[in-house]
Amino acid sequence: MKIVQVQTQAEAAGAQRVSDMVGEGLRARGHDARTVFMYRKTDAFDHDASADFILTEPPKGLPGQIRATIGLVSYLRNARPDAVITYQHYGNIFGTIGARLAGVRHIVANQSGAPHTRGTMGLLSQIDKLMGVTGLYHANIVNSAWTEAQFDHYPQAYRRRLHRIDHGVPAPREQFDKAAARARFGLPGNAWLAVSSGRLTRSKNQIALVGALERLSDIHVALAGVGPELETLVTFARERGVADRLHLVGEVPPVQIFEFLAAGDVYAFPSTSETFGLACVEAAISGLPVVASNLAVMREVLTARDGEPAAIFVEADAAGMAAGLAEMIARPEFMARLSAAGRRLRDKYSPARMCAGYEALLLS
């Protein structure tokens, strides 16, 4: 089967990690699967032989978006796929429009967030609802029980196309030495180190970790990622006198993420809005104990099948993150329990099971 996955932007973020795994899994099952990005944002996928780009840089204004849409339609017409899988709000909408205009009828969308009611995102949610109700999507994926529940008030015509497929989360294929990992990323060798990964955005709330440094004088924080909040984080750290304990390592490609995680003593995740929290679950599976924001979806996904949590859950502010990190430092035996529970999440979030779920929908 020939399959094209449509992503909005090329960068090392959660949604892109998912499509990467799905594409790899489908190819392993004998399918011809490629991923097309509407535009290139970073170099994360420049050397991916299965990735293509419509635009080589982010579109500017409406003319750029029109060029990206026309380019996507042309790409899909030339590719002539049997099915299209779309990701994220813009990817779902433009990918579906492009697929339909190119004559593709088998379309699987992914819901990467709860419906919005205001602003641009509210408009996109209304378009998504219309597409789902009218059957423009063959199937619509949600990745957790929490996410699925956000659509309980939607019309039955929309909900009957919803299918729950929990994200697969990869496990490290090798063990990394902590000292070597710290040296690899230029991190302090003897410090107690909290690590975190993800786009540097307001919703990921990394500023809470910078604030936690002000409250805990003996810890360091390392952030892997790029994004619009970079300068804000740097300025805030300087103003609070903690810049020497904040380490910004930039974007870490997926093939190196487990080496970065191996550098940490704990993983800190202060995000204020999630539908799954792939990066956090990835860290837990690698064996890092987790301090996570107290979101219902995080409690769901970070609990092993036996009911043991892989994290402690705190308020998503500087005081909450500092309290959680301080508890980790004070209770090494508790850290060991969380670490063991995190490793048991491997069976719960099998990439093979996720890919089998997608294949079943594509063949139905």
pLDDT tens over the chain, length 364 residues: 999 999 999 988 888 989 999 999 999 999 999 999 999 998 889 999 999 999 999 998 889 989 999 999 999 999 999 999 999 888 999 999 999 999 998 999 999 778 888 998 899 999 999 999 999 999 999 999 999 999 999 999 999 999 999 999 989 989 999 999 999 999 999 999 999 999 999 999 999 999 999 999 999 999 999 999 999 999 999 999 999 999 999 999 888 999 999 999 999 999 999 989 999 999 999 999 999 999 999 999 999 999 999 999 999 999 999 999 999 999 999 999 999 999 999 989 999 999 999 999 999 8
Residue 55 structure tokens: 């635009």
Query: What local confidence, expressed as pLDDT, does residue 117 receive?
Result: 87
What are residue 110's DSSP bridge partners? 141
Same domain (yes/no): 160, 220: no
* Domain assignment present for 199: yes
Task: Give the domain extent around 293.
Answer: 178-348
Same domain (yes/no): 298, 159: no
* Domain assignment present for 118: yes
Same domain (yes/no): 336, 356: no
Same domain (yes/no): 234, 224: yes
**Nearest CA among 212, 167, 176 for reference residue 288:** 176
Same domain (yes/no): 140, 13: yes
Same domain (yes/no): 183, 324: yes
* Domain assignment present for 98: yes
Strands 246-250, 162-164: pairing is unpaired
CA distance 81 to 5: 10
Q: State how far the alpha carbon of 122 is from the alpha carbons of 24, 59, 65, 117, 128, in Å.
A: 33, 21, 19, 4, 10
* Domain assignment present for 173: no
Cα-based angle 137, 109, 279 (whole degrees, multiple of 5): 170
Could you tell me the CATH number of the domain that includes residue 151? 3.40.50.2000
The pTM score is 0.89
Query: What local confidence, expressed as pLDDT, does residue 323 receive?
Result: 98
Query: What local confidence, expressed as pLDDT, does residue 9 receive?
Result: 93
Q: How many domains in the chain?
A: 2
